Amino acid sequence: MATSEVQVLGAWASPYSNRVQMALNLKSIEHEFIEEKFYIDKSERLLKANPVHKKIPVLIHDHKSICESLIIIQYIDEVWIGNGPSILPSDPYDRALARFWAAYIDEKYFPLFKELEKASGDETRAAIIGKMLEGSMLLEEAFVKCGKGKDFFCGDNVGYIDIVLGSCLGWINVTESMIGVKLFDETRTPGLAGWAERFRSHNAAKNVVPEPQKLLEFYMTVQGMKASSS
């Protein structure tokens, strides 16, 4: 299918928006990225495009809205099947495995970062950090199993798990700097440590993954806005 009007309603600091950008970049699909300041107010454009969840990201293709980042990535892979590499593996088992680990990242691993943000007390925080380290070890095992000794989870090129986990790298780095612990460590998780460097420099991601310092400044600004409005 030829590229037609493609827009993304998102935010530069949102990993869920970033992964949609990465998928489009991987497929070499030209698109317009429309910044939504969702942390200030939700625009009428966003509410109309996603009336159910009322959140970013939203892919608008041929004036039709597709919502939820994992669904959007799969849509991109299916619609532009002839553009660039496949995002999801062709083998049914590998495809199921990719979906399993993507769900794990979104439902189990990355939510720990929000838990840590809200946690109070050293003991509670230490327990959450312990779960993060356990999760990183599980992802290291997944990388070894899915990557089969190659550069990425999908093998020779970036694929579904790479995009889902890679979109979190900026916030992972911010968290590492705040807690003083490496989550992707060259000793404990050498596969992930090497993978992260390769992913950041990949054409699909290198201008999309936000720099940690910029993210930290954004986080502090939003927290200040929330405090002043409460």
pLDDT value for 40: 82
Judgement on whether residues 102 and 59 belong to the same structural domain of the protein: no
Judgement on whether residues 204 and 97 belong to the same structural domain of the protein: yes
- The number of domains in the chain is 2
Q: Residues 39-46: contacts with CB within 8 Å, 24+ apart?
A: 39/11, 39/222, 39/225, 40/225, 45/9, 46/9
Place of tokens 């992260």: 196
Q: How many CB atoms lie within 10 A of CB 34?
A: 18
Judgement on whether residues 171 and 208 belong to the same structural domain of the protein: yes
Q: What is the pLDDT of residues 5-45, one digit of tens each?
A: 899 999 999 999 999 999 999 999 999 999 999 888 899 99
Q: What is the pLDDT of residues 187-205, one digit of tens each?
A: 999 999 999 999 999 999 9
Identify the domain containing residue 149 by its residue range. Answer: 92-213
CB distance 75 to 65 below 8 Å: no
- At 140, the amino acid letter reads E
**pTM of the shown model:** 0.95
30: left (phi over 0), alpha (psi -120 to 50) or beta: beta
CATH classification at residue 44: 3.40.30.10
Judgement on whether residues 97 and 209 belong to the same structural domain of the protein: yes
